[in-house]
Structure 1
Amino acid sequence: MIQFPYDTNLRYLPLVYLLPSDLIERCPTLCALPRCLSEIAASDEMMDMITGNAFLKEIMDAAASLAFPHFGFGSWKEHYTGYSPVWRLSYALPIWAKLIEEKTGWGLQALFRMRPSTQIPFADPERIRELFDKVVKRAIEEQGWQPILDVVREMPCDEDFEPWQTNVRIDFQRKWYHTRSKNVQTVSLEELMESDEDGSIFYIPDATQNVEAYVIAKDFAERFLATLSEKDRQIVQLRQDGYTYAEVADKLGYKNHSGVIKRIEVIKKQFKEYKGRE
């Protein structure tokens, strides 16, 4: 048996050769790897590439895109964000590598036992989809993920696990806890403007708790929104109302949700500049 350092990226090399051709073409680093193990072993450049972060990121993204559809949540992985528990579970790369090897016998040992100069053909896309369907279902059972998935399905909005508040999220929380707490905030523009570095940029208090502070903060928000274009104001309002990036894009005529995300980043920057001038 060939010995190898199992805690390196090398253990994910067999997964590369399971990727359908249309998927691997979207991964520049993985696409550059020869489909012959002896060619990789003879090249320091290729070995360095495998140990690099680009290799790890691309194989993680590729494997996640194959695993995600089998959790039963519909849509594409890209329609969700890293805050979604299902999105994160789809990135369980060590589990996919382990279960695939147990299911098919295809792992590093099988790869190293191939005859020198063997060219590895591309796998049949349908067979790979069926394989990931089986390993995802097995992972859900063995890892005890079903309760997590059940809770996520109860959430009415794709992005309810993100750090900002939305009206849809607040309604869900009220139903979940069987209460209409007066402490729940119902104005959430500041959460839309939230950033990892700066935290909450401003806070609009609950009017039932502090009327004066509420009026001041709400006036500030309205003055800032008045400086935005009509389309940017619509983006803010739709996001406050709980619409997903994809839904906002569809309503406002963007080609995809990426355009909406870019506009939100611009709005965040404008907000910080506006606040600095006040």
Structure 2
Amino acid sequence: MKDVKEQKQNDNGEIIEMKQGQVIKIPKNSGKAWLTLFYSLPQEFVSKRPVYLNFPRCPYEVLRTDKYDSMINNDTFLELVWDCVAWSAWQYFEVPYQKGGYREIPGSAAQYSGDFPLWRLSYSMLPLLRDKFEVSGFSFQQLYNVPEGTELPWLTYQQFGNLIGTLVPEIIQEQNWQPMIDEIWNNRTIEDFDKRGSQVKLDFMRSWEHSRSRKKAVSIEQLAEDAEENSIDFDIPDTRSAFENSVLSELQIAEAVGYKTHGAVLKRIRHIADCYEDFISEEYQKYLETF
């Protein structure tokens, strides 16, 4: 009989528990696959769905019968587990601080929109957290081995926070997600915030609109509209003509850089032009090869 680890690797990602020669397959897309995370939730979290406060704390019968499948295989159960764990993972994301270093995401998760990429990332992390549980003392094998009649104690809020706070940074480092998190944070948009007003949204809007600048912000469009309303000429001069009139001759360049004759300048210009043409030809060839 193969051991649990080998059996898991050979079964297309399904969670498999074994005891006394018995094999139990729990597909990862089933509700039971999230029981390890459910049993780790503090009572304060589960109370958000009071019906699950009455869910058996002894997993013996839950894993061996279908008696409680109706409570597990539904969206309410998944929503409870996913929302609570994702919210907890969010607390341990770190984002760049404008003064250098990193800090926790300011404000609460409710002040950001559900489409904010970092909020979505906290949900994308859930399968990885579940895999981490398998090697962190909360595996399905341990859950299965709980004797009949033995109830699992509730983790305290602090204990659960310590657990998630340890695993989330490990996953971010292993997946090399920090550069992605940095880019997401540094490129926020107004759509990333909840429609309701909040301090974090206000701070973002101030930086977005530069409303804290001591100098009054103006735009060319606004100046043009004001000029039109007041019948003021607002033609922006074309500086290209002035630039063209100030182009130096080859002789002037030679004198400026210390060449004895302007012929050396001409050779240098031709060499630069040849290099540019070679570069353009090479890049164009690469472009053609993409078709």
Q: TM-score range by the shorter chain?
A: 0.5 to 0.7
> Tell me, which stretches of 5 or more residues in structure 2 are unaligned?
1-17, 94-103, 196-203, 211-217, 229-291
In the alignment, what sits opposite 1:78?
Answer: 110
In the alignment, what sits opposite 1:124?
Answer: 156
**Does the C-alpha gap of structure 1 residues 182 and 35 become closer, same or farther in structure 2, counting only changes over 3 Å?**
farther
**Does the C-alpha gap of structure 1 residues 30 and 86 become closer, same or farther in structure 2, counting only changes over 3 Å?**
farther
In the alignment, what sits opposite 2:192?
Answer: 161
- Calculate the aligned-residue CA RMSD, in Å: 3.3
In the alignment, what sits opposite 2:85?
Answer: 63
| Contact persistence 2:42–2:155 (CA under 8 A) | yes
| Contact persistence 2:92–2:168 (CA under 8 A) | yes
Give the counterpart of 1:54 among 76, 96, 114: 76
In the alignment, what sits opposite 1:40?
Answer: 62
1:160-239 matched pairs, under 5 angstroms: 160-161=191-192
Count of matched residue positions in the alignment of Structure 1 and Structure 2: 177
Structure (1 or 2) with the greater strand fraction = 2
Q: Distance in 2 between matches of 1:129 and 1:70?
A: 9
| Contact persistence 2:47–2:53 (CA under 8 A) | yes
1:122-161 matched pairs, under 5 angstroms: 122-155=154-187, 159-161=190-192
Percent identical across equivalent pairs?
Answer: 27
Secondary structure of residue in 2 paired with 1:3? strand
In the alignment, what sits opposite 1:113?
Answer: 145
| Contact persistence 1:40–1:46 (CA under 8 A) | yes
Q: State the Cα distance separating 1:167 from its structure 2 match.
A: 6.8
| Contact persistence 2:31–2:73 (CA under 8 A) | yes
Q: Distance in 2 between matches of 1:152 and 1:182?
A: 30
In the alignment, what sits opposite 1:24?
Answer: 46
TM-score relative to the length of structure 1 = 0.54
Structure (1 or 2) with the greater helix fraction = 1
TM-score relative to the length of structure 2 = 0.52
**Does the C-alpha gap of structure 1 residues 181 and 94 become closer, same or farther in structure 2, counting only changes over 3 Å?**
farther
Once the two structures are superposed, residues 108-141 of structure 1 have per-residue CA deviations (whole angstroms, 9 ceiling, x without a partner) of 1110111111111101322221111111101111
Once the two structures are superposed, residues 26-71 of structure 1 have per-residue CA deviations (whole angstroms, 9 ceiling, x without a partner) of 1235333111123435774521211111111111001112111101
In the alignment, what sits opposite 1:100?
Answer: 133
Secondary structure of residue in 2 paired with 1:70? coil
**Does the C-alpha gap of structure 1 residues 115 and 181 become closer, same or farther in structure 2, counting only changes over 3 Å?**
farther
**Bigger radius of gyration:** 2
Q: State the Cα distance separating 1:105 from its structure 2 match.
A: 2.8
> Tell me, which stretches of 5 or more residues in structure 1 are unaligned?
173-179, 187-206, 212-278
Q: Distance in 1 between matches of 2:37 and 2:207?
A: 38
Q: Distance in 2 between matches of 1:14 and 1:26?
A: 18
